[in-house]
Amino acid sequence: MTKKADISPQSAYTAPISYPEPHKEKHAGRKTWQITRQYRLKQVGVNRVELPPGTWSTQRHWHTINDEVVIVISGELVVVTDDGEETLGPGDCIAFKAGVPNAHHMQNRGEVPVIYYDIGGRDAWDLSNFPDIGLQAHMAMKLEFRPLRK
């Protein structure tokens, strides 16, 4: 029998932030529940994320291979893209198509934690491009940052 996912506070993934200095500061306190890893799924990634007030989801980025969808459960999330900013509330969602170089991230500018689901592909050969900080991350094997290719 398949059991429901464990989203208890003690099961949250709060590993050290992998961005190189000085790009870690805005992400401190982010908690992630890696839902699909609990079930050992390999084709899709679903993460439940809790973003404290004043923090960012990630550095602005775009993916070469993996699509991404964000669905807000509670709180207010500001999505920042190359096209501008948009505010999402509970029940709102936004999607980012793979291969489209429109860098994005989410910010919690409110006074309460935001909870959202981040859903995307799990292709190990995906490259995440971080144009604001001039880096690229290759997901195969481990998260590895290197200078951005142009």
Which are the contacts of 17, defined by CB distance < 8 A and separation ≥ 6?
24, 27, 28, 30
Query: Does any domain span residue 80?
Result: yes
pLDDT tens across 47-96, in order? 999 999 999 999 999 999 999 999 999 999 999 999 999 999 999 999 99
- What three-state secondary structure class fits 137? strand
Tokens matching residue 15 = 């590993």
Confidence of residue 103 (pLDDT cuts 50, 70, 90): very high
* Cα 2 to Cα 35, 44, 134, distances in angstroms: 13, 17, 43
Query: Does any domain span residue 120?
Result: yes
Least confident of 1-5, 68-72, 121-125: 1-5
Query: Does any domain span residue 100?
Result: yes
Query: Does any domain span residue 38?
Result: yes
- The boundaries of the domain holding residue 46 are 25-147
- What three-state secondary structure class fits 114? strand
Q: What is the mean pLDDT of residues 14-18?
A: 70
CA gap 33, 8 in Å, rounded = 9
Give the pLDDT confidence score for residue 142 in this predicted structure: 55
Query: Does any domain span residue 98?
Result: yes
Which are the contacts of 22, defined by CB distance < 8 A and separation ≥ 6?
none
Q: How many CB atoms lie within 10 A of CB 119?
A: 18
Query: Does any domain span residue 6?
Result: no
What is the pTM for the complete model shown?
0.88
Helix (H), strand (E) at residue 62? strand 62-63
Residue 38's CATH number: 2.60.120.10
Q: What is the mean pLDDT of residues 21-49?
A: 90
Query: Does any domain span residue 39?
Result: yes
- What three-state secondary structure class fits 36? helix
Query: Does any domain span residue 9?
Result: no
CA gap 91, 107 in Å, rounded = 17
Q: How many domains does the chain have?
A: 1
